Structure 1
Amino acid sequence: MANVLFLEEVFRTEGVPEFTFVQPPNYNEILLDVRRTGKPVILEGQSGTGKTTTVRRIIEELGDDAKTEYLTSRHAPDVTRIEVVVREKISGRFVIDDFHRLSSELQEQIADTAKLSAEQGDQASGPKLIIIGINQVGSELIQLVPDIAKRTGIHKIAPGRKSDITALVQRGSERLNITIENAEQVYEETRGDYWLTQQICQSICAAANVTKTAAEHTRIRFNIGDVRQRVVERLRSAYYPAVKEFCRGRRFRPSNDPYFKLLRQVGSQESSIVDLNEMANAQPDVKGSINNIKERRLAVLMDSKPLVARHFYYNSETKTFAIEDPALFYFIKHLDWNQLRQDCGFREESPDFEYEVAISFAGENRELARFISESLAALDVSNFFDEMFEANFLGKAWSEQFKEIFSKRSKYVLVLLDQYHAKKIWPTFEREHFTPRIQDESVIPIFLDDTKFVGIPSDIIGIKFKFDPNHSDWRGGATDDIMMKLIDKLSS
């Protein structure tokens, strides 16, 4: 019998597989660029395609005397080291992983260093940079320094083909002296994700009590549903807290579920990297929720919760959302979303709105409207306050936008009613469109004076507030009289 190997040595879920590594189709092209002195190399692709594993394997194969440092943006000391390398142009080979998570400033410095190395070619004395990131990292780097495109090796590693995954399973099976029957189901489950293939094969073998090379040849059959359930349960303790934290948002309220809806939609996609603008346009059922959080709230959530930032990535400029860990993506794809909704404490799913609150006001009360808007935003309540969204609506007619927002795209309309609201053209226009919603109890009036309005019943329950912008503590009064009541309403 061949040497006895442990299951975890054969089907490896950590590090570089020794026995089951499969070269991507463009492996040799990548090797040539990695071997070339000074030439910057960029590897891009979605999670689980083996970018880092491929680089490590190539460097092992080169077997040269060049020292290689592996640095990642996820590790603070590594980021400091990257800063030193690009500032001092230190010679050596440096693999910079998760490039997309670095600050824009540091990305530009890396791009400048790459350009210098590319210009010097084989005579380069500075760092040899191998940059790894998610999709489009190559084009983004070129945009920072456009003239390095032809001198940089940019490679996209695609998911494995069926033949690649078949070869991986076969190599591992031979080492363990087994045959995995109906093995084609492995590819159907993983769709070419190398890490997931290793994990699925490991789980199949463990369930069949094969934990090392079998003394006698063993044939294994499996049920993919059972395997999937075991993998998800195994991952639960590692990922469920982060998933809940993300879904509950920065400040939990039982009705505040746009993060939940976003993540559920991402879990239904083939790719773990999505453009939220494209997703919103393609998925009308969750368009409101995505638009609700993609401009500001999602980035604030990442900044305020380290656990969330560690597991999810978001670029608020490009609107790219990514789940970079293939294990986490697989876990999310097979979650019990009804159970998660219950565990998060959300009420039954509500209609999808782009804004929880739209604020209608006359210009004389803009300062009060701005204070309410900022207070709501601090409490993670999405709201429409016109001056916050002027850039979004450039080239569009305000009349059409206001009509949509106040009639259907907001869950509630908060209206500051007074003599100015009654006289002004725009407030009157807004009022015409939200007044029919009074019967649905989705209009919250704030009475600033005793002005009467057609279509707004005199006995409707609202908030009375005397707004005097010259009073030194009007904000404290607005907090007590307006915000406390409003949050109670939104949380009920």
Structure 2
Amino acid sequence: MKLNLEEVFVTEGVPTFTFVKPPNFNRILLDVRSAGKPVVLEGQSGTGKTTCIKQILKELADQFPTEYLAAREPVDVSRIEEIARERPAGRFVIDDFHRLSSKLQESLADLAKVSAESSNPSTCTKLIIVGINNVGSNLIQLVSDIAKRVGIYTIAPGGEKEIRDLVDRGAEKMGVKIPDVNLIFEEVRGDYWLAQQFCQSICLKAGVMETCDEIIDITFDVADVRRDVVEQLRAAHYPAVKEFCRGKRFRPNNLPYFKLLKAIAESGSSNVELTELANSDPLVRGSINNIKDRRLPILLESKPLAARCFYYNKETKYFSIDDPALFYFLRHLDWEALRRDCGFRELAENYEYDIALSFAGENRDLAKHIANQLLDLDVPVFYDEAFESNFLGKAWTKKFREIFADESRYVVVLLDKHHAEKIWPTFEREHFTPRVADEHVIPIYLDDTKFVGIPADIIGVHFKFDQDDPTWRENADREIVEKLIGKLT
């Protein structure tokens, strides 16, 4: 029987001829078949979790109704909320569980506990949860006493044996011989989907579109096939990557999202904890620390295309790329070409912050308001309170010296008598005053106090800060924030 190439090496849906069962497949099937017992499948992207559960449901072919829902789909999320609330009878697969809100995850964990105690399939809500690493242990932490009544399984990446099995099965069905399977394994890193795509591209480049009448040998060049795969993925993924890298409000020198994505691609892991990544790479530490708490969640909330491709949990600080095709695309992307296409400048200076705020404690409310407004507008800004956790164990004197002297593009200083009198503002002033001559200091004059090294004729903003005036925030936005944004644009 002749088969089409896409029927053998399958990149969408469940493979019929090249599905490779994970070692724990039969054990998972038993628990999926067991009424009421919650099942959790976890593992990194590309390990075949979703394919595994779909294959199990296909093999069961029972009369128990099954509904498949993905947490990345808004319509499905509404249905998942309904299930958590109404607890209907049925079997429900909830994919991308880690994308759900903490509150909804907890509600589902409570439901799993109730269902685990039921043995009546006609009345229980059977949950099958699929997600990235540690979703099982996180579920148990939410409801600790279900630990013994839930089946938790890790789907590991394929080893060389599994990838060879996949390739050999497909090659047999296509009537071809594909040599050097070890090279394919090294390229795909145990990713089943990518192995399917890679083999499909190998056959395409050899002109094999359906089962051959006679066995033929196929030769391939890994780099050549890789370029073909990446180019094929470009149309689907490049727009979202570019949107993410340009940030919420594009500016030619605003590169933290670009640097973050590049660092994740180079790390080799599609699921990373950002604090750990920042600590391991000094070149992106400032960029990551500047966006991980506030700006990154705001970006994903405002850019639906990027949000469908990238997931970030601001509580755990985990950033995930769920689609193995997208991660492969990023691993082999021409980042310099992307930088140029985004419109970013190639700067000699590599500042961690566009703006560092210097102020006395008496003006903290004003400084905090300015910082929050700038962060909402996607400006990298140093405001001491926001970075206390990043600098635990480090000396403020050393960090302040670095930030105000070297690591900020501009220093915005709230000048008044308190700034002249206080120890910390004076320390900061000593380190940024030499930058006045380079026009990197922007004064906000709150009174007429004179400062050595800051000539009174430097153009700044004269602002009356009166906390009893209910309009001071609106005035600050108009008179300070808007002008700073104009300076940065």
- Residue 208 of structure 1: aligned partner: 206
What SS does the aligned partner of 1:114 have? helix
Q: 1:467 aligns with which of 464, 468, 471?
A: 464
1:6 aligns with 2:4: yes
RMSD: 2.2
Output aligned runs, 1:38-437, within 5 Å: 38-120=36-118, 125-349=123-347, 351-389=349-387, 399=397, 401-437=399-435
Deviation of 1:173 (Å): 0.3
Match of 1:456?
Answer: 454
**Does structure 2 conserve the Cα–Cα contact (< 8 Å) formed by 1:286 and 1:352?**
no
How far off is 1:443 after superposition? 2.4
Equivalenced residues, count: 488
Pair 106,272 (structure 1): closer, same or farther in 2 beyond 3 Å = same
Instruction: Assess if the C-alpha contact under 8 Å between 1:465 and 1:478 holds in 2.
Output: no
Structure 1: which 5+ residue stretches go unaligned? none
Q: Distance in 1 between matches of 2:212 and 2:424?
A: 78
Deviation, structure 1 residue 188: 1.1
* Alpha-carbon distance between aligned partners in 1 of 2:41 and 2:366, rounded to the nearest angstrom: 51
Distance 1:126 1:354, change over 3 A: farther
Q: Report the Cα offset of residue 71 of structure 1.
A: 1.2
- Conserved? CA contact 2:64–2:91, under 8 Å: yes
1:48 and 1:194 in contact (8 A); partners too? yes
Once the two structures are overlaid, the 10-residue window that deviates more, 390-399 or 163-172, is: 390-399
Q: Is the 8 A contact 1:463 1:481 kept in 2?
A: no
Q: Secondary structure at the match of 2:413?
A: strand
Amino acid at match of 2:415: L
Q: Deviations over 1:320-369 (max 9, x none)?
A: 00111111111111111111001100000455444321111123433432
Tell me if the contact between 1:117 and 1:124 (Cα under 8 Å) persists in the aligned partners. no
TM-score (norm 2): 0.94
Cα shift at 1:477: 5.0
Q: Tell me the amino acid that sits aligned with residue 93 of structure 1.
A: R
Alpha-carbon distance in 2 for matches of 1:393, 1:147 = 38
Segment of structure 1 superposing worse, 135-144 or 365-374: 365-374
Deviations 1:126-178 (A, max 9, x none): 11111001111111111111111121111111110001000100000000000
Task: Tell me if the contact between 2:90 and 2:122 (Cα under 8 Å) persists in the aligned partners.
Answer: no
Which secondary structure state, in structure 2, belongs to the residue aligned with residue 120 of structure 1?
coil
CA distance in 2, matches of 1:92, 1:378: 43
- Superposed displacement of residue 465, structure 1: 0.6
C-alpha separation between the residues in 2 aligned to 1:431 and 1:153?
A: 60
Cross-structure match for 2:27? 29
Q: Distance in 2 between matches of 1:122 and 1:283?
A: 53
Higher deviation after alignment, 168-177 or 374-383: 374-383
CA contact (8 A) 2:118 2:124 kept: no
Task: Say which is worse superposed, 100-109 or 461-470, in terms of deviation.
Answer: 461-470
- Native 8 Å contact 1:92 1:126 kept in 2: yes
Structure 1 stretch displaced more, 69-78 or 129-138: 69-78
Task: Write the letter of the residue equivalent to 2:26.
Answer: N
The TM-score, its normalising length taken from structure 1, stands at 0.93
Alignment check: 8 A CA contact 2:89 2:121 kept = no
Within 2, Cα distance between the matches of 1:375 and 1:103? 26
Give the whole-Å Cα distance in 2 for the aligned partners of 1:454 and 1:42.
65
Letter in 2 for 1:467: K
- CA 57–433 in structure 1, closer or farther in 2 if over 3 Å, else same: same
Q: Give 1:5 shift.
A: 0.1
Matched letter for residue 410 of structure 1: S
1:387 and 1:183 map into 2 onto residues whose CA distance is 54
Cα shift readout 1:79-104 (whole Å, capped 9, x = no counterpart): 23223333332222111111111122
- Code of the aligned partner of 1:171: R
Gaps of 5+ in 2: none
More displaced, 127-136 or 436-445? 436-445
Q: Distance in 1 between matches of 2:265 and 2:194?
A: 15
Q: Match of 2:454, as an amino acid? A: I
CA distance in 1, matches of 2:84, 2:470: 52
